[in-house]
């Protein structure tokens, strides 16, 4: 006779496969699905969401959880953590009705399709009704979860992406950033050199070849993953079938190579998760801030540093056919570390990026709290960009419609980007201390030791720890420290 815990493992493995199928369908919708398939795909994903929800909310799950928890003393460390994660998933699921889950999935898929056309036409009016529907449903879900967990509705949404995190934590970290970033930005703009012009174009085919070489350099396994093109770069699929995407612009090759590196960091994390727990909750990533830390550690901490540029520069000449000062190490360093006030989040530098996130965080709190109507979002967006970044936004395409997250109902996700950047700085500092030859390794395109260290400290740990802060403390010896990120920015951009 199997134990209650073993029965739970069987059920959660089946649930993981259902969710994995949905993940691949999401990837397909964003990359190769014909536009005419949007309606059918929305229904497919809504059905899978409902099936997953019903599996998780089956009456027997509650009994099995209670039974397994009564026998928890017999479980090992990983099994105990897995049972904790099972309980958390069940609690989130049972807080919502099946009808609401299905409606959220259907409205998110439909809104995403509307967004693609509305963004291309710079027509927020066409998007507003669909986005309003998504917001209303997210509010219902946030309220229901807040009541179930005894917390603020927004905190309940955060818990979906970052367990143990509350708005009060974000406010503390973001207030610390806001206290020094504006003055730092002004000093950097005065201090930094002018980057050399780079008039040479590069074909999409050459950019793809370089992107694939860089992913090979990271150690990404193309037998368990692939690289494709999408409007918004992302990582999807499942741990044994990781789907990376980027986008190509022949006038801006670095604008595709760095997203590929970013997504490669996500992909390496997914592939490095503990294989023996692959279909169990404890085998997943430790929240989205930690996931973002892995992509930003690769894209920002490593790939914009001079050591890596000594490897990248000859690679660009070899595979990209470019030459001249703009493509040498000195020219590349001033280009990839150039700081500027900009409209587009995904193109922002390390110094201004947190301001983009603080802006979105404030807006989504206002939208969900009912203080800002969806129809007033374009104006509020322009005001915030002007006050925080000193940027005028001429179009909604490059304003409130530039990101996909809200269209799919992902409220509470944005803060994890900047928290991830802070975690990345802290992890990289620890890696440098542990790997004295790291700079030399990276200058030769050797990521072996770095990825081994990250694998041991982060990837292989899955969700063994109860929160990202506990995992970070185990990996670096301290919880998230705002001062480390500040020191990183000052050293890199001011030479202090």
List residues with catalytic annotation: 263
Query: Cα–Cα distance between 284 and 19 in angstroms, integer?
Result: 12
What's the token pair of residue 137? 């449903």
**Cβ neighbours, 10 Å, residue 359:** 20
List, in sequence order, every residue forming a beta bridge with 236; answer none if it has no partner: 243
**CA 454 from centroid of its chain's CA atoms:** 17
Q: Based on C-alpha coordinates, what's the Rg of the chain?
A: 22
Secondary structure of 301-353 as H, E, C letters: HHCCCHHHHHHHHHHHHHHHCCCCHHHCHHHHHHHHCCCCCCCCHHHCCCCCH
The two counts, helices (H) then strands (E), for the chain are 20, 3
Place of tokens 């997914």: 270
Place of tokens 């209650």: 4
Spell out the residues 6+ positions from residue 76 whose beta carbon is closer than 8 angstroms to its own.
none
Query: Cα–Cα distance between 383 and 414 in angstroms, integer?
Result: 19
């Amino acid at each position: 006779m199997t134990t209650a815990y073993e029965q739970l493992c069987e059920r959660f493995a089946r649930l993981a496969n259902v969710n994995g199928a949905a993940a691949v369908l999401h990837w397909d919708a964003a990359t190769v699905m014909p536009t005419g398939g949007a309606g059918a795909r929305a229904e497919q994903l809504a059905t899978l969401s409902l099936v997953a929800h019903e599996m998780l909310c089956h009456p027997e799950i509650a009994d099995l959880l209670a039974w397994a928890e009564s026998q928890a003393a017999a479980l090992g460390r990983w099994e105990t953590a897995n049972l904790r994660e099972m309980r958390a998933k069940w609690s989130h699921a049972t807080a919502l009705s099946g009808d609401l889950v299905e409606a959220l999935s259907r409205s998110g898929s439909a809104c995403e399709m509307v967004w693609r056309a509305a963004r291309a036409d710079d027509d927020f009016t066409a998007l507003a009704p669909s986005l309003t529907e998504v917001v209303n449903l997210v509010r219902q879900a946030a309220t229901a979860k807040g009541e179930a967990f005894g917390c603020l509705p927004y905190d309940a949404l955060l818990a979906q992406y970052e367990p143990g995190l509350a708005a009060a934590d974000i406010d503390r970290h973001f207030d610390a950033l806001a206290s020094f970033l504006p003055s730092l930005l002004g000093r950097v703009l005065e201090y930094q050199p002018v980057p050399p012009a780079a008039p040479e174009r590069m074909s999409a085919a050459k950019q793809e070849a370089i992107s694939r070489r860089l992913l090979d350099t990271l150690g990404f396994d193309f037998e368990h993953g692939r690289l494709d093109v999408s409007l918004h770069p992302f990582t999807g699929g499942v741990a044994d079938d990781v789907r990376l995407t980027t986008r190509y612009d022949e006038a801006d090759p670095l604008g595709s190579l760095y997203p590929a590196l970013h997504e490669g960091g996500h992909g390496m994390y997914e592939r490095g998760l503990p294989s023996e727990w692959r279909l169990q909750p404890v085998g997943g990533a430790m929240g989205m801030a930690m996931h973002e830390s892995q992509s930003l550690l690769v894209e920002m901490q490593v790939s914009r540093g001079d050591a890596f540029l000594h490897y990248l520069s000859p690679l660009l000449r070899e595979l990209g056919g470019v030459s001249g000062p703009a493509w040498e190490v000195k020219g590349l360093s001033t280009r990839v570390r150039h700081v500027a006030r900009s409209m587009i989040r995904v193109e922002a530098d390390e110094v201004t990026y947190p301001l983009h996130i603080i802006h979105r965080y404030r807006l989504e709190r206002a939208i969900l709290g009912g203080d800002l109507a969806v129809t007033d979002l374009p104006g509020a967006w322009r005001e915030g960009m002007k006050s925080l970044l000193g940027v005028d936004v001429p179009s909604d395409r490059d304003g409130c419609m530039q990101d996909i997250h809200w269209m799919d109902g992902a409220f509470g996700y944005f803060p994890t980007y900047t928290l991830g950047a802070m975690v990345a700085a802290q992890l990289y500092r620890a890696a440098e201390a542990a790997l004295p030859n790291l700079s030399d390794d990276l200058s030769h395109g050797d990521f072996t030791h770095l990825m081994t260290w990250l694998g041991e400290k982060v990837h292989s740990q899955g969700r063994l720890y109860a929160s990202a802060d506990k995992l970070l403390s185990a990996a670096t010896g301290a919880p998230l420290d705002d001062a480390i990120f500040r020191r990183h920015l000052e050293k890199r951009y001011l030479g202090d």
